[in-house]
Amino acid sequence: MTFYIHMGTPKTATTSLQHSFDISKDEIMKTGLLWLGGHPHAHAIASSLLGTTKSINSQEYHLKKRTIRFQNNLAELIRSSNAQNFLFSSEYLYDFSHEEVGVFSKILKEICPIDTDYRVICYVRDPIGFATSECQEGIKSGKFGLDEFYENPWRRSQSSIIGSFRDVFGPDAVDVRYFNKNILKKGDIFSDFMDAISVDENTFPLKKINKNFSLSYEGVQVANALQTIRPKDKRHPRLRRKYKLALRNIAGAKFQLPIFVQKRILERSKLDMDQINEWYNLGINQTDLLPVDIQDYDEAKAMELAMAIDKKVQGI
């Protein structure tokens, strides 16, 4: 039995893959693979584990109780299944500390048969493309503003995160792939992922869904203004998607990070990429800066539109 763990590196089509498997789970079960990623117990284990290895307080105590409950439910799901293999996917795994990866491994070993083979799958992107997407995601969610991101555009050490999974599950158990259309199987993330989990896509045509969207240059400026009006922690969870949809509808030129930010990304990501290349020989060696079409956008106009969006979403 193989238990596949998809560590959903941000901005590598994780959400699209998850939704595609959600709607194809019955068909993929015919191949002997049980899709757990879309199951609430699976996703909740990953999310509830975050922070539970630290000192105990009231909130963390309840998180630990939730984790145990989800663990028991997931164990029953696996025991009652006739599947030969399992697939677990969550973007929360990318935020795990080394200790939390260890706890996660311990939970899986308590749930699964003793002879289970564990395989971890994750994707990495070119640094500038990754940072550009992460910037857009943070901006449209209201997590931070442009100035804050420009100051620190390489926020997490990918090699440290991958290294934690290598330490816990073993170097040979971690399959890191290059998220680049010239490298992916058939130039497609869906085909490449099916190859990673050893499923013949010819016998199981995955229903492909693309979920995420990119903001225009104008959309980013409005999102930046909106973040000052109503940052993420001031947006009701039920309304957050409406903010994102409103920003998506702002047409304009493609957004690209300024040259000085791109240079900063290449400088700060070099050690990260060097380590990953040493481990997996992926050939990630981005040196060229991406062309930037300088746009003039009236800040007052951006703020005016941001205020209009806020009022509409809030129902004022």
In a domain? residue 161: no
Q: Which residues pair with 177 in a beta bridge?
A: 123
Among 215, 213, 225, 211, smallest CA distance to 247 is for: 215
In a domain? residue 174: no
Check whether residue 188 and residue 104 sit in a common domain: yes
Q: Rounded to two decimals, what is the model's pTM?
A: 0.86
Separation of first and last alpha carbons in the chain: 55
User: Residue 300's domain spans which residues?
Assistant: 217-314
Check whether residue 51 and residue 190 sit in a common domain: yes
Check whether residue 121 and residue 17 sit in a common domain: yes
Measured between alpha carbons, how far is 267 from 273 in angstroms, rounded to an integer?
Answer: 11
Check whether residue 114 and residue 234 sit in a common domain: no
Among 178, 199, 200, smallest CA distance to 189 is for: 178
Query: Among 145, 165, 196, which residue terminates a domain?
Result: 196
Q: Which of 164-171's residues contact partners 24+ apart within 8 Å by CB, and which partners?
A: 164/96, 164/97, 164/98, 164/101, 165/7, 165/101, 165/120, 165/122, 166/279, 167/98, 167/101, 168/98, 168/101, 168/102, 168/104, 168/105, 169/5, 169/105, 169/118, 169/120, 171/279
Check whether residue 233 and residue 185 sit in a common domain: no
Check whether residue 112 and residue 9 sit in a common domain: yes
In a domain? residue 190: yes
In a domain? residue 281: yes
**Residue 15, number of CB atoms within 10 A of its CB:** 17
Check whether residue 246 and residue 187 sit in a common domain: no
Number of structural domains the chain divides into? 2
Q: Which of 22-29's residues contact partners 24+ apart within 8 Å by CB, and which partners?
A: 23/207, 23/209, 24/204, 24/206, 24/207, 27/204, 28/199, 28/204, 28/206, 29/83
For residue 221, give every residue at least 6 positions away whose Cβ sits within 8 Å of its Cβ, in sequence order, or none.
297, 299, 302
Check whether residue 191 and residue 70 sit in a common domain: yes
Check whether residue 246 and residue 98 sit in a common domain: no
pLDDT at 65: 66
Check whether residue 186 and residue 257 sit in a common domain: no
Q: Which two tokens stand for residue 76?
A: 């029953």
Query: Among 196, 229, 257, which residue terminates a domain?
Result: 196
Query: Do 34 and 150 touch, CB atoms closer than 8 A?
Result: no
Query: Do 80 and 111 touch, CB atoms closer than 8 A?
Result: no
Measured between alpha carbons, how far is 60 from 79 in angstroms, rounded to an integer?
Answer: 28
For residue 240, give every residue at least 6 positions away whose Cβ sits within 8 Å of its Cβ, in sequence order, or none.
141, 142, 232
Check whether residue 221 and residue 83 sit in a common domain: no
Check whether residue 100 and residue 243 sit in a common domain: no
Q: What is the CATH number of the domain that holds 104?
A: 3.40.50
Query: Among 148, 167, 196, which residue terminates a domain?
Result: 196
In a domain? residue 136: no
Strand order in the sheet with 33-35: 33-35, 85-90, 2-7, 117-124, 174-178
In a domain? residue 159: no
Q: Kindly tell me the burial class for residue 303, based on how many C-beta atoms sit within 10 Å of its own C-beta (0-12, 13-18, 19 or more).
A: middle
CA-CA-CA-CA torsion sign (145, 146, 147, 151): positive
In a domain? residue 289: yes
| Rounded-to-10 torsion of CA 301, 306, 311, 314 | 180
Which pLDDT tens digits describe the chain residue by residue (316 residues)?
Answer: 899 999 988 889 888 888 888 888 888 888 889 888 754 555 566 666 655 444 434 445 555 666 677 777 778 888 888 888 999 888 888 888 898 899 889 888 888 888 999 999 999 999 999 999 999 989 999 999 999 999 999 988 999 999 999 999 999 999 999 999 999 999 989 899 999 999 887 766 666 666 667 889 999 999 999 999 999 999 998 999 999 999 988 988 889 999 999 999 999 999 999 999 999 999 998 888 988 876 677 889 999 999 999 999 999 7
In a domain? residue 207: no
